[in-house]
Structure 1
Amino acid sequence: MALIRSKLHLAFPKSFIKSFSLPFSTVLESPKNPNCSQNEKETNEIDANISSNITPQQNPIVKGLNSLIKDHHKENPKFSIPYDTSREYEIDANIIPSLAQSFSQITPGECISPSVVLSVLKKCRYARPRIPYYQALTFFNWAVSWDNFEIYKQSFVEMVDLLGKADRFDLACGFIEEMRRRKLEIPSELFVRLLRRKFKHYNISCYGAFNSMEEYGCSLDKAAISVVIAMFVKKKQAVEAQSFFDKLKDICELDVVDYNNLIKGWCSVHKISKAARVFAEMKKTGIVPNVSTYNVFIDGLCSHCQITRAERVFSVMIEKGCQPNAASFNNFLSYYVKFGTTEKILEVYNQMKRFGCEPDVTTYNCLIACYCRDVENRDDAVKLIDEMVNKGIVPNAHSFNPIFNCISQVGDMNAADTLYAKMKELKCQPNTVTFNVLLRMFVEFKSTDMVFKLEEEMCELDVEPNAKTYKILISVLCAIGDWSDACLFFEDMLECTYLRPLVDVYEAYGMVLKELRIADQTKKHEELVAMMKKYVK
């Protein structure tokens, strides 16, 4: 059955949209509900297997469809359709008719499969500097409009996630409403994913959003409540977390995880005394602190340089018979990497071994950071990576970044290539810091092609850029006189209002304005100045 023949009506309650525009906070991934039915489990397994079912014959189709979307978006970067919040929202199936016709030239619509749709949408989600959501929406509507296309929940989930990442929450909510109309299961994880996108940059109401979850058949179980508390904590809104916690503690049974999150929340906003009060209240209610409780509190104390008090809490933990783990010692190691001596770091490491705690990736990362204080110890740091691998510990980007920084200081491109190849060999995904270090090195060596190759790889791996990333890329674009792409990147930089530090924003701003003056682009210059006033306060 086709999703639409002429128009897709995306009607949704105003209360739902409203819940995405009022004060709130952040989100972590929602835990899966262990009580889902057998049918739901089977549906999830089917959806999970769709994207892995791309055949060699379908690969060229996916690439061809994705190329059409990218090319149209590049030629029409500001394509839009009118939106009136006072009316029921309607989307024409052929938002971009010419593009829909082009899709049919790549492959007959009746041959399109859910796995192809998912693959194309995922590639759209990784696009940068802007997500081509209108083009993706045209593709989605074109694909599902064929009578023989099997509608899977995951196709909608992927489209909702793409729209959320593009900050088009109006359209995303409409798709959730369409899922309900089609009686597709709406997983609570979908709401959490959408909220997480929204909470990253805005304040919205958790109460309104969670009421909407109930309206859409998603139960507000204990796991969902824990996620809300964690949201507040991640956003460093401890007061709101405490308020939410107090309203629920007499209604439902909160556990050690919720108390641990609340302690972490107060520590994150430098309110150690309030964290201690929650810790004491926890014991009064009969909830026994576990090793995670002590670790969270010790971490808060170490982060605020209260090392003596942290050591006392550690001693209490031992006295109470609570066995420390690697994280307990990692808190002290992280502190001494910043403020201590190498001898003190080794002292904690030896104590860790006496307690029989096996080092984990964070332990090794602290030791690597310690070695990398001196560039001459770079080889010893690399040996620690090998030791980790031999012990079955998987290194992460934080394991490699201090070594990349050492290499950057001496400008050894060969060593950087070798280490990056090693990172890939170990299937360790680089993060934003990794790419920034490498991008800076290639800029210094005037290797523009490698800069853009790395930027493409960054997109493919879905690694989010920060202000420094944008500044580096904009500087390269300005150096080659590409003011058009430099403007696009800068506009994207401004729209990500969470990006800090502002000094990088202003430096990029200066570079782009200078390039526009050289190119005599007066109108664009004025538009950019107006945007800067709006987004940077």
Structure 2
Amino acid sequence: MIKILGRMRQFGAVWALIDEMRQENPELITQQVFVILMRRFASARMVQKAVEVLDEMPKYGCEPDEYVFGCLLDALCKNGSVKEAASLFEDMRYRWKPSVKHFTSLLYGWCKEGKLMEAKHVLVQMKDAGIEPDIVVYNNLLGGYAQAGKMGDSYDLLKEMRRKGCEPNATSYTVLIQSLCKHERLEEATRVFIEMQRSGCQADVITYSTLISGFCKWGKIKRGYELLDEMIQQGHFPNQVIYQHIMVAHEKKEELEECKELVNEMQKIGCPPDLSIYNTVIRLACKLGEVKEGVRLWNEMESSGLSPGIDTFVIMINGFLEQGCLVEACEHFKEMVGRGLFTAPQYGTLKDLMNSLLRAEKLEMAKDAWNCVAASKGCQLNVSAWTIWIHALFSKGHVKEACSFCIDMMDKDLMPQPDTFAKLMRGLKKLYNRQFAAEITEKVRKMAADKQITFKMYKRRGERDLKEKEKEKKDGRKRRARQRQWGGDRQKL
């Protein structure tokens, strides 16, 4: 309960719960209760509140010690409050003898912030306290150097580790390889990998995954496969993440057959493709116009026990729309809504679907799709969703239907955006439909009064916004026309 309430930042409720525990079951109050609370305060960047927990603990019969202090220090450093953690450390180091864990937390925090001078100072403090850095400390510092692109310092630190008798492990080398791959220094990354093997340090799955990811990111897929084969020969079983790196590289090169072969290979070796893998290959199939292949992969995915996610539905719907398969697009959209997967981020898909249907003069089909959304219990349609639908209807000439749905929206206590109102009034004026105009105007006037908005200002703003949007569209058309003309001139040259 404390974890959940803390995550929701209901800190008053947390303290009330702890007080209830003190009255009814005081034996349940342990250090861990307060450690959880500290971590939640730290993640919320409420540093002072996190520190105050230390002072509150004795009131509940629980004395803080160096373990609790270490947890607080760690939480602050991991959540971007390393400066405050360093200040707290100086205040507390005379109360509790610092341990390697305390120094490690500070060093990690400074490295994460890119403050390498401060991180080095922590290393000096450690040595002054008679504590020898261990592999975790060195790896944190290596990570800091690598993140800052200071590879020379990283290599020097590797040598120092060996001199001190602290042999670099797989994490040490992987940190360097990751940074080199990130900056396309692939040959150098390979040299580090070879040095790792020569030193007798066995590469693990993470090391191979990092290398494969790096080579695939820069289009070196063949080398990625070579590393995959080597990894398997070394007795490491590849996971879905590794295959995903290779799959994305094939997707960038639009190599659908290679993606399908990779899926088959995964199934053969007992590493079943996950949802991300299927999403990638289905997206490529749809992009290349192979919608039937996308459907086949979808069915294969479901047969393997996987349920399509939001991304899968959006990919498939867009694929159908691009190929003009409107019935199939509608069916998948309604299924997505039925599964409770339609939320605000999918409004773009809703807009594309409605515009495509209305462009093809499939008004009833569009209404059916909209009613499916409106009737769904899991969908709380806001003004933005209604605006998408109303504007789509209006832009395709269905002015009366747009007005009718605008009234439905207002009946749900949602006020239309000013430019929507201005657009509808303009359309009704052309149709000489005064009855509809009067009904909508009266409703808007009443809603404006309830919200303490001046109707004249609302109306004026709508007309202004509408003109600005029309100007933006006009400028956009001119810009695209110039770009087409410029492209044609270049071809002639």
- Using structure 2 for the length normalisation, give the TM-score: 0.56
From 162, 170, 173, the equivalent of 2:4 is 162
Q: Distance in 1 between the 2:41 and 2:379 partners?
A: 22
Aligned to 2:117: 273
Give, in whole Å, the separation in 1 of the partners of 2:243 and 2:310. Answer: 13
Equivalent-residue separation in structure 2 for 1:452 and 1:357 (angstroms): 54
**TM-aligned CA deviation for residue 427 of structure 1:** 11
Q: How far, CA to CA, are the matches of 1:454 and 1:359 in structure 2?
A: 43
Residue 203 of structure 1 aligns with which residue? 46
Deviation of 1:326 (Å): 0.9
Q: Which residue of 1 aligns with 2:174?
A: 330
Cα distance in 2 between the residues matched to 1:236 and 1:300: 15
Q: Distance in 2 between matches of 1:395 and 1:194?
A: 38
Deviation at 1:220, TM superposition (A): 2.2
User: Amino acid of the residue matched to residue 179 of structure 1?
Assistant: M
Letter in 2 for 1:445: G
CA distance in 2, matches of 1:288, 1:170: 42
Specify which structure has the higher proportion of helix. 2
Q: For residue 213 of structure 2, what is the amino acid of its counterpart?
A: A
Compute the displacement of 1:238 (Å).
Answer: 1.8
String of CA shifts for 1:82-123, please: whole Å, max 9, x gaps: xxxxxxxxxxxxxxxxxxxxxxxxxxxxxxxxxxxxxxxxxx
Shift of 1:396: 6.3
Report the Cα distance in structure 2 between the residues aligned to 1:422 and 1:198, rounded to whole angstroms. Answer: 48
User: How many angstroms does 1:451 deviate by?
Assistant: 9.1
Aligned partner (choices 176, 179, 184) of residue 18 of structure 2: 176
1:405 aligns with 2:405: no
Q: For the Cα contact (< 8 Å) 1:272–1:301, is it kept in 2?
A: yes
Query: Which of 416, 441, 445 is 2:319 aligned to?
Result: 445
Distance 1:471 1:423 in 2: 39
TM-superposition CA deviations, 1:117-166 (whole Å, max 9, x none): xxxxxxxxxxxxxxxxxxxxxxxxxxxxxxxxxxxxxxxxxx34333444
CA shift, 1:304, in A, is 0.6
2:81 to 231, 234, 237: 237
Counterpart amino acid of residue 114 in structure 2: H
Shift in Å, 1:387: 6.4
- Residue 174 of structure 1, CA deviation: 3.0
Contact 1:389–1:395 (CA<8 Å) still a contact in 2? yes
Candidates 235, 248, 256, aligned match of 2:100: 256
- Greater Rg over alpha carbons, structure: 2
Say yes or no: does 1:363 pair with 2:237: no
Give the 3-state SS of the residue equivalent to 2:246 in structure 1: helix
- Bigger RCO of structures 1 and 2 (CA < 8 A, at least 6 apart): 1
Q: Structure 2: which amino acid aligns with 1:323?
A: E
CA 1:456–1:515: 2 relative to 1, 3 Å: closer
User: What is the CA-CA distance between 1:405 and the residue it aligns to?
Assistant: 2.7
**RMSD between aligned alpha carbons?**
4.7
User: Is the counterpart of residue 351 in structure 1 residue 225 in structure 2?
Assistant: no
Alpha-carbon deviation of 1:329? 0.6
Q: For the residues of structure 2 that align with 1:332 and 1:514, how far apart are their CA atoms?
A: 49
Q: Deviations over 1:432-461 (max 9, x none)?
A: x998976764454357988999999999xx
The separation in 2 between residues aligned to 1:411 and 1:256, in whole angstroms, is 51
Q: Distance in 2 between matches of 1:450 and 1:423?
A: 32
1:430/1:225 CA distance change after superposition, 3 Å: farther
Aligned to 1:215: 59
Aligned identity (percent) is 21
Deviations 1:312-342 (A, max 9, x none): 1221222222211111111210111111433
Distance 2:151 2:350 in 1: 47
Contact 1:448 1:476 (C-alpha < 8 Å) held by counterparts: no
Task: Please tell me whether residue 475 in structure 1 is matched to residue 348 in structure 2.
Answer: yes
Distance in 1, matches of 2:384 and 2:266, equals: 32
The Cα shift of 1:275 comes to 1.2
Q: Which residue of 1 aligns with 2:480?
A: none
Query: What's the CA shift string for 1:24-54, capped at 9, x where partnerless?
Result: xxxxxxxxxxxxxxxxxxxxxxxxxxxxxxx
Q: Is the 8 A contact 2:38 2:75 kept in 1?
A: no
Gaps of 5+ in 1: 1-158, 460-468, 492-508, 531-537
Q: How far, CA to CA, are the matches of 2:180 and 2:120 in structure 1?
A: 23
Asked if the contact 1:483/1:516 (under 8 Å) is kept, the reply is: no
Q: Is the 8 A contact 2:263 2:273 kept in 1?
A: no
Matched, 1:186 2:19: no
Does residue 1:342 correspond to 2:216, yes or no? no
Displacement of 1:402 after TM fit? 2.2
In structure 2, the residue matched to 1:377 is 221
| Whole-angstrom CA distance in 2 between matches of 1:471 and 1:382 | 40
